[in-house]
Amino acid sequence: MASDNELRLSSDDDRSSTTTTTSTGFTFEEVVGVVEGEQDQDQEVLLPRPGLTRSQAFNLYLSHAFSTWNARGYEFAAVLFTAAAYPNTLVAAALRMVIVYFAMILFSSYVGHWVERSPNRLRTLLSTIVCNRSSVIAGSFFWLLILSQEDLVGPDAVFVMPKNYVLKGAGFAVAMTLGIIERLSASGNLISMERDWVVTVAAPAGSPYDLSHLNAVMRRIDLVCKLLSPILISVIITTLDSVRIGVIYTGLTSFVCIPVEFFSAKKVWSHNAVLQVPKPLPPQHTASGGEPQAGTRSCMAQLRQFFKGLELYFSTPVWIPSMALALLHFNMLTWRATFITYLINIGYSLTVITVARAIGSVFEISSTVITPRGIEYMGKAHHHGYSPVTRDDDDEAGVRLITDDREENRNVQTLTGLQRFGLWGISWQLINTVPVVLALWVIAAQRDEAENLPTFVKRFIAERPPLDIGWSILLFSFLAFSRLGVWVFDLTTQQLTQTLVAPTQRSSFAGVENSVVNVFELLGAGTAIAFPRTEQYRWLALASLVSVVVSWLMYAVWVHRQRGHLVHWEKLGEGFCLRRGNW
């Protein structure tokens, strides 16, 4: 008998049945990879059971925390550096934003493709770390040169360069290019970690460090870094009154974090036998000679690969939830630069905005605590009506993963819980977005009425009348509540894609998914540029509500198609009749 820490794998001549999957969605191919074809019939192989010890989980979280801290910090710092380099204009910031979005749309799928066909998990992750940190360090050098020109520093500055617009523009172009590399490498790091490492090592559902738990903790780390890392950079720049000190801090932080990330990632890999097994390569990635021929392909072949990635994306059973989540990135009622600028323009102070944003972050972080429990609760009750999504590619494994009925039941419960709790999350997002849009329209109307007052009346009142406190509380409260729903939906959709996409396609799928997300990010930015006036933002808010409605409809249709229903109306009827009987 195999111990509890081992998987018993046996060959089977019956190729008609699909390979049983664990709760994390990986098959025998992902656990063993190269074993197929090397064992005799009826031979049994005992391998370590997927899972993590406490020490391994700590090092996994530590590596992810440093990567996310640097990525979130540089994402915010680049905005500050651009504003300092080109004050009194938004052209440079808008240009940088549009170019970065276009680059992510074009190249994210290639990043996912590269992660997918890299068999050594440790080498792939470390490569993304080196590329990311190197681009930040080199970018900080060019930002320092740009911000050291005499028209951007005080007369008592230690290091001053003569003003030269040509060199400044060239330096900005190089810094922007390095910023694109930074974003792409950060995306590769996230794909490698979330779609490969985490899924591979996750324990079966219901066990410590199962996929729901790992996803929640990883996203909690991301959200905490998203909140604290920009704040620390802002405090350093404000306290020392020097953007150049912020540039130096950014470069040094990236340099110092490299050995910590290397050590923690390597420690997880070296103590986990499942991670050390080479990944199976998809057949389409291997040429007749046995090695990928990516370096010799023409531009047309690269373009065909791009469209092939889109074809892969839309052929998966979870492209609708993924697209629904991506559509939410069009929503302009989030704490992005355009929304913050709008709030400042209509009269809210930076202090009020900062407090409201911090409260929203609390709800975002709380979603990582609620989601694993919500998935478990929603999966236990009434999970009938589930129609499993089969994967034909698993037939090629030729090996069955022997699991007991209890584990298989946990898998079904987890998938049911993901579908139902994801619907709860997007519904919560929709319900709370409606009062946000209503409050914003009322506040905008009150502002318009004040602007239209006669001139002699304006002389006897304040130059800008105070904003209505009640509607302001309504606006920021429901905006904070909505952040809970969107991140619940994000976590459940991520686990659905981790579970229902074939192991040899997860990374490529994630790369195309990032491209789709950036399409909607670009559309949101372009819409804000097309309607730049403050009084037009109410229409952007209405368009954001429409995007949330469409997202809800897409996901609801998908859930109905999978489960055959959205709500147990018979249960609601029974409860209503019972309540009337008690009355």
Contact status, residue 163 vs residue 147, Cβ threshold 8 Å: no
The pLDDT value recorded for residue 190 is 94
- The total of other beta-carbon atoms located within 10 Å of residue 415's CB is 24
The pLDDT value recorded for residue 320 is 95
The pLDDT value recorded for residue 576 is 44
Domain membership of residue 42 as a residue range: 1-49
Locate the DSSP E strands across 366-498. 399-401
The pLDDT value recorded for residue 337 is 76
Looking at the fold, whether 372 and 412 belong to one and the same domain comes out as yes
The pLDDT value recorded for residue 385 is 45
Looking at the fold, whether 11 and 76 belong to one and the same domain comes out as no
Handedness of CA 114, 120, 125, 126 (dihedral sign): negative
Q: Which is nearest to 317 in space by CA: 387, 372, 381?
A: 387
Model confidence, pTM: 0.78
Longest CA span, the chain = 95
Q: What is the CATH number of the domain that holds 330?
A: 1.20.1250
> Number of helices and strands (H, E) in the chain?
19, 3
Handedness of CA 257, 259, 262, 266 (dihedral sign): negative
The pLDDT value recorded for residue 433 is 96
Chain position carrying tokens 């406190």: 469
Residue spans of the chain under pLDDT 70: 1-49, 90, 151-159, 282-299, 301-302, 381-408, 450-465, 567-583
Q: What is the CATH number of the domain that holds 67?
A: 1.20.1250.20
Residue 61 CB-density burial (10 A; 0-12 exposed, 13-18 middle, 19+ buried): middle
The pLDDT value recorded for residue 465 is 61
Looking at the fold, whether 21 and 137 belong to one and the same domain comes out as no
The pLDDT value recorded for residue 34 is 37
The pLDDT value recorded for residue 409 is 72
Looking at the fold, whether 453 and 549 belong to one and the same domain comes out as yes
The pLDDT value recorded for residue 346 is 85
The residues with which 149 forms a beta bridge, in sequence order, are: 161
Looking at the fold, whether 198 and 214 belong to one and the same domain comes out as yes
Number of domains, the chain: 3
The pLDDT value recorded for residue 339 is 87
| 20: Cβ contacts below 8 Å, ≥ 6 apart | 400, 401, 402, 403, 408
Looking at the fold, whether 320 and 378 belong to one and the same domain comes out as yes
Contact status, residue 513 vs residue 453, Cβ threshold 8 Å: no
The pLDDT value recorded for residue 532 is 81
Domain membership of residue 392 (yes or no) is no
Looking at the fold, whether 6 and 104 belong to one and the same domain comes out as no
3-class secondary structure, 315: helix
